[in-house]
Structure 1
């Protein structure tokens, strides 16, 4: 698997005043600097579900993988309700093939007025319902880490009526192969009225990152009811694939929202590893104090020279997850190699 988790630096990762920050994905550029692509949305909206209607993907930079990362720019801003990703961009995952940077993400839209500061907004708001149903996975490309970024005109993965991914598609987890082909694991829900069905995980494949992407799993790759996970991150090994993800119920690791570790030969048939607990929400920090985070989600491994060196995760300071959180940020945990 990957290395043992070391104490987390107190000032590491990426925070922004007056913003909720989530979904950190990091890559090293040609000059050796580290760029984090992250989601942010204003704190005058609730953390959840504010991201559905106001998230935007930004870029921050650091000279070291630990950070702290300094905000640079908005990468994928809002661009109008008429676009499939016009009202929200979220779940960034940055990779590179050859000379091209590839930014996978979730986008959504809705045709209703945007929320205003001081206005109530929640899960039963029509904007939330429509935006949730419009969640799709997209791809933006650039020949430079600084952009400009060219977005795909349409989502790279549409929903499929009558299947487990008929309602929404999000949380892209791409695994780039040397030949340019991509195995893409994603989160999906089935259509069940204007809410959604149970969370499932699907798999798609493209012979080249430019597409087309086709779903290769007739059924979810993790059996619903047995393996309930979210936020997968996967990588290629000499034996196949490995994956870490959030244990939604705690039945797999003994800790609700802890991390699982799974193995696969082909990316379709997965088994939990002999020691399936990959990480915990309870962490040791560099000041010697052990803290249990309200959330520890969206895990991302930074690989350097083929070796995982750092685990990034979106965290909150709440006692009951993000429902009572005052702050969220992307933290970093160094790994032994």
Structure 2
């Protein structure tokens, strides 16, 4: 059975990936056939505000290292802008890499809008942001190697449905590809409430293959403000006793700290139980110089699992004191886990 609480090993301050010219978020890692480690991450220019700059200007890049902890060096832009006429033409975000049967699948959120480029005055009430938020959808690209080339689809794999809990948007894909190629996918959703959107919830979809047709399998979410509480950024995996999930606790009511991680379990990915203890990790990072830091954000968790054991947690980090709202820098840490 999986550990429900992760113990972080001390790390170097330069661990992971840093770039002072960009906001960085949404990490996932994989090891290529030649032993090189590949980090897929979202970035957008610091000429835009952190939030909501990602909605209108994020792109997915790849960085490499000879060690899973890094430090990583920039390699290339993987999912760039490609025009407002595409569903993912103006922003790509939330990358989550998986390897199955010799192919690499990069799940992500894409969005578009038909308006002018945003600048530093962008707010959540700017027209670009309002349109882009409502256009968020989940897609997948694929390649034979982590280095690409990557094939992008002209349609998302999970769109919205009127009169449903995901009528406004779908995003934050959390896939598990089974040994037979079938996919169980958790996703973040919002529904329309009048002309705007409601609170976040988590839904489940399934497909016969990574590039297959995805169908939402429950008419109700598996997590919501009314069911367990509001969470975000799920990461899904499977062990001998069923499905496991870690996710961001939005309010702190489940973990005791807003933005900390929670752990939950399920036999079928549809009916979930909070683990005991529920808290998977707090926002405290230990460094190898003997110092520790409560970071403003430790989000978009991604577990690297080897031989059934969780070895590393990759996460987006900010130096804010109130979530990322007052952050001046964000970066990626890849943290070894001591209790696995």
Q: Same fold (TM over 0.5)?
A: yes
Q: What secondary structure does 2:193 align onto?
A: coil
CA contact (8 A) 1:29 1:35 kept: yes
Q: Which residue pairs with 2:48 in the alignment?
A: 45
Say if 2:13 is the partner of 1:10.
Answer: yes
| Structure 2 unmatched ranges of 5 or more | none
Q: Which residue pairs with 2:179 in the alignment?
A: 178
Q: Show the 5 A alignment for 1:127-276.
A: 127-225=128-226, 226-276=228-278
Aligned equivalents of 1:273, 1:331: Cα separation in 2: 25
Deviations 1:167-217 (A, max 9, x none): 000000001111001100000000124431110000000111111010011
Q: What secondary structure does 1:74 align onto?
A: strand
Q: Structure 2 length normalisation: TM-score?
A: 0.96
Deviations 1:205-250 (A, max 9, x none): 0111111010011100124333210000010111110000001111
| Structure 1 unmatched ranges of 5 or more | none
Q: Which residue pairs with 1:66 in the alignment?
A: 69
Please report how far the alpha carbon of residue 8 of structure 1 lies from its aligned counterpart in structure 2 after TM superposition: 2.5
Please report how far the alpha carbon of residue 16 of structure 1 lies from its aligned counterpart in structure 2 after TM superposition: 1.2
Aligned equivalents of 1:166, 1:177: Cα separation in 2: 28
Q: Show the 5 A alignment for 1:112-123.
A: 112-116=115-119, 119-123=120-124
RMSD between aligned alpha carbons? 1.1
Q: How many residues are aligned here? A: 335
Aligned equivalents of 2:224, 2:56: Cα separation in 1: 31
Please report how far the alpha carbon of residue 287 of structure 1 lies from its aligned counterpart in structure 2 after TM superposition: 1.4
Q: What secondary structure does 1:53 align onto?
A: helix
CA contact (8 A) 2:296 2:322 kept: yes
Please report how far the alpha carbon of residue 310 of structure 1 lies from its aligned counterpart in structure 2 after TM superposition: 0.6
Please report how far the alpha carbon of residue 166 of structure 1 lies from its aligned counterpart in structure 2 after TM superposition: 0.1
CA contact (8 A) 2:22 2:43 kept: yes
Say if 2:126 is the partner of 1:125.
Answer: yes
Match of 1:97 among 100, 117, 123: 100
CA contact (8 A) 2:266 2:272 kept: yes
Deviations 1:55-90 (A, max 9, x none): 000000010111001000000000000000000000
CA contact (8 A) 2:224 2:231 kept: no
Q: Structure 1 length normalisation: TM-score?
A: 0.97
Aligned equivalents of 2:252, 2:222: Cα separation in 1: 19
